[in-house]
């Protein structure tokens, strides 16, 4: 197993639970050090719409000149995005976007059930909340696209409620001081939230208890193949034999390319800011809230608040840009103007990580054309939401069982 984020660790656990000897190799010194480390925390099947929605080309062009754009395209990244970008735009038609959204919703809904089951059965502590998820809008027009998506997914099992301003404030009283900025909202009662890093680390411990092995600071130098069969990997000159699962997030294409497998996955840098909430414990927000106007969210995680959002296409440049962090502060001040002055900003923890974004908005899950090679990557902004379900789907495939959800949209060779 190559990759120690939530995708790799959930896959490791499912293999171990099936009695399959497995070893996880993570290049970083610790597990959950990449995109899993400080993501938004939301488990949201209802927000499974890919980012290449109809009209995305206009937003990307405008973002070149807007430093505060929610989806930011950097000029220097364009040469490396040419072919992927054309495919990204080709899949932004209404039909293809809807197809990807429906497939993602099915996988994420299955995954949420699996996440809850693992948490309960294994006693995992990850600040889990099943309170639902709230999306707020500055005006009715801003809500229209989300309504269209809800109507598409409703026949596939999504539950949702449209709220006026008073109903939003009744559901989440901590938004009262932002009433003038909230015209309406949509509440998704079945959504959840939790700390992806805590879940990942806890699940890794359970996998080890079942006999799995974990090695950190173990960078894979090469994947070994004999003809049309993968036979293992090379780590620091040591050959480790066995089938190989690539679950290395945005780095997955760098590994698969060595075997002639092209994965249409690019890094989309997301930002988060973690705030200690000791100063507002008496008025702690109850629900995760996404502000459609700023395309960013605030999620309560125990004694902390996680502000997260924005996407930046900037290659593998991992620098944390201050204007993006400032944007998250603006979000918090916009939604919670009475709480913002009570937060110690100097103790806030900024973070940025690369979401592995597929060109068509769907992950790659399953076998590659070369025997012994398996893939589980490309989940984009839905990695935490889809991880346990994707792991179970892949392990069912590896064991010759029929997955419990339709896995055909996620075919690696599509």
How is 235-283 classified by DSSP, letter by letter? Answer: ETTEEEES-EEE--GGGHHHHHGGGT----EEEEEEEEEEEE-GGGGGG
Residue 2 is classified by DSSP as: B
Q: State the pLDDT at residue 80.
A: 82
Query: 188: closest CA among 163, 160, 167?
Result: 160
What is the biggest distance separating any 2 CA atoms in the chain, rounded to whole angstroms?
A: 65
300: left (phi over 0), alpha (psi -120 to 50) or beta: beta
Q: How many CB atoms lie within 10 A of CB 154?
A: 12
Which tens digit of pLDDT belongs to each residue from 306-356?
Answer: 999 878 888 899 999 998 899 999 999 999 999 999 998 888 999 999 999
Which tens digit of pLDDT belongs to each residue from 52-82?
Answer: 988 876 766 676 666 667 677 777 777 888 8
Q: State the pLDDT at residue 74.
A: 76
> Which parts of 190-241 fold into alpha helices (H)?
196-209
Domain membership of residue 291 (yes or no) is yes
Q: State the pLDDT at residue 278.
A: 83
Residue 238 sits in a domain whose CATH number is 3.50.50.60
Domain membership of residue 125 (yes or no) is yes
Domain membership of residue 224 (yes or no) is yes
Q: How many CB atoms lie within 10 A of CB 315?
A: 17
Domain membership of residue 1 (yes or no) is no
Tokens 């249409």 locate to: 264
The structural domain count of the chain equals: 1
- 42: phi then psi, degrees, rounded to nearest 5: -85, 140
The rounded percent of the chain whose pLDDT value lies above 90 is 85
Could you list the residue range(s) of the whole structural domain that residue 154 is in? 6-410
Distance of CA 320 to the CA centre of its chain: 19
Domain membership of residue 297 (yes or no) is yes
Average pLDDT across the chain, whole number? 94
Residue 352 is classified by DSSP as: E
pTM, two decimals, is 0.95
Residue 18 is classified by DSSP as: T
What single string gives the DSSP state of each residue in 359-413?
A: TTS--EEEE-SSBTEEEEE-BGGGHHHHHHHHHHHHHHHHTTPPPSS--GGG-TT
* Averages of pLDDT over each 10 residues, the chain, 414 residues: 98 98 98 96 96 78 67 76 91 96 98 98 98 97 96 98 98 97 98 98 98 98 95 96 98 95 95 91 92 92 93 89 90 95 90 96 97 98 97 98 97 97
Q: State the pLDDT at residue 183.
A: 97
Domain membership of residue 239 (yes or no) is yes
- Token pair belonging to 260: 């002639």
Classify residue 273 as exposed, middle or buried by CB count within 10 Å of its CB (0-12, 13-18, 19+).
Answer: buried
């Amino acid at each position: 197993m190559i990759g120690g984020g939530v995708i790799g660790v959930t896959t490791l656990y499912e293999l171990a639970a099936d009695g399959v000897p497995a070893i996880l190799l993570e290049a970083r010194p610790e597990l959950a050090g990449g995109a899993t480390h400080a993501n938004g925390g939301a488990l949201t099947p209802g927000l499974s719409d890919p980012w290449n929605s109809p009209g995305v080309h206009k937003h990307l062009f405008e973002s070149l000149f807007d430093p505060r754009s929610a989806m930011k395209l950097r000029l220097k990244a364009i040469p490396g995005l040419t072919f992927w970008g054309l495919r990204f735009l080709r899949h932004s038609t209404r039909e293809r976007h809807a197809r990807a959204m429906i497939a993602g919703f099915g996988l994420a809904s299955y995954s949420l059930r699996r996440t809850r089951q693992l948490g309960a059965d294994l006693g995992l502590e990850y600040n889990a909340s099943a309170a639902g998820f709230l999306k707020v809008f500055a005006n009715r027009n801003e809500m229209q696209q989300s309504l269209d998506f809800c109507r598409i997914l409703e026949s596939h099992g999504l539950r949702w409620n449209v709220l006026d301003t008073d109903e939003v404030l009744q559901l989440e009283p901590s938004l009262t001081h932002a009433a003038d900025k909230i015209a309406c909202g949509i509440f998704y009662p079945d959504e959840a939230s939790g700390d992806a890093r805590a879940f990942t680390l806890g699940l890794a411990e359970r996998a080890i208890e079942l006999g799995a092995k974990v090695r950190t600071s173990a960078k894979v130098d090469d994947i070994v193949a004999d003809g049309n069969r993968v036979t293992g990997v090379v780590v620091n000159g040591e050959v480790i034999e066995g089938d190989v699962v690539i679950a290395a997030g945005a780095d997955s294409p760098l590994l698969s390319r060595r075997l002639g497998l092209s994965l249409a996955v690019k890094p989309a840098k997301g930002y988060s800011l973690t705030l200690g909430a000791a100063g507002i414990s008496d008025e702690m927000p109850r629900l995760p809230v996404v502000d459609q106007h700023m395309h960013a969210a605030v999620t309560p995680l125990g004694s902390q608040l996680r502000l997260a959002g924005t996407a930046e296409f900037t290659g593998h440049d991992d620098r944390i840009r201050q204007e993006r962090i400032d944007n998250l502060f603006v979000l918090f001040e916009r939604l919670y103007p009475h709480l913002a002055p009570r937060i110690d900003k100097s103790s806030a923890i900024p973070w940025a990580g690369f979401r592995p974004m597929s060109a068509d908005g769907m992950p790659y899950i399953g076998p590659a054309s070369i025997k012994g090679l398996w893939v589980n990557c490309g989940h984009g902004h839905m990695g935490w939401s889809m991880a346990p379900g994707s792991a179970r789907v892949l392990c069912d495939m590896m064991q010759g069982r029929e997955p419990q959800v339709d896995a055909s949209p996620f075919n690696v060779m599509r």
